[in-house]
């Protein structure tokens, strides 16, 4: 069986989530990004990209290193596990 890992390195450590499909791992990254964007106290009027990031979560994930300096997200794999 092949698995994919949603991988997020951030200032508090590293989060990982294992998935059978690439799209499942990518969706986890989208959810993590959306959660951060909604939680962080952005001034929606001073950060012109805020709405764009929420509307294009794939773009936010792909450019996470620009949004949240010293952090990054990616899907790793596929990795073969088991028999």
Query: pLDDT tens digits, residue range 26-83?
Result: 999 999 999 998 888 666 556 778 878 889 999 999 999 988 889 999 999 999 999 7
Q: How many Å apart are CA 26 and CA 49, to the nearest integer?
A: 21
If phi > 0 it is left, if psi is from -120 to 50 it is alpha, else beta; for residue 77 that is left
C-alpha dihedral (62, 68, 69, 75), degrees to nearest 10: -40
Say which residues have a Cβ less than 8 Å from residue 7's Cβ, sequence separation at least 6.
Answer: 14, 15, 16, 73, 74, 75, 76
Entry pTM? 0.90
Tokens of 7: 């991988």
Domain borders along the chain are 2-80
Residue 40's pLDDT is what?
Answer: 82
């Amino acid at each position: 069986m092949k698995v994919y890992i949603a991988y997020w390195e951030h200032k508090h450590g590293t989060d990982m989530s294992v998935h059978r499909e690439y799209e499942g791992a990518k969706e986890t990254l989208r959810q993590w990004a959306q959660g951060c964007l909604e939680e962080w106290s952005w001034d929606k009027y001073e950060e012109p990209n805020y709405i764009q990031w929420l509307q294009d979560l794939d773009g936010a994930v792909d450019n996470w290193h620009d949004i949240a300096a010293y952090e990054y997200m990616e899907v790793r794999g596929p990795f073969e596990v088991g028999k």
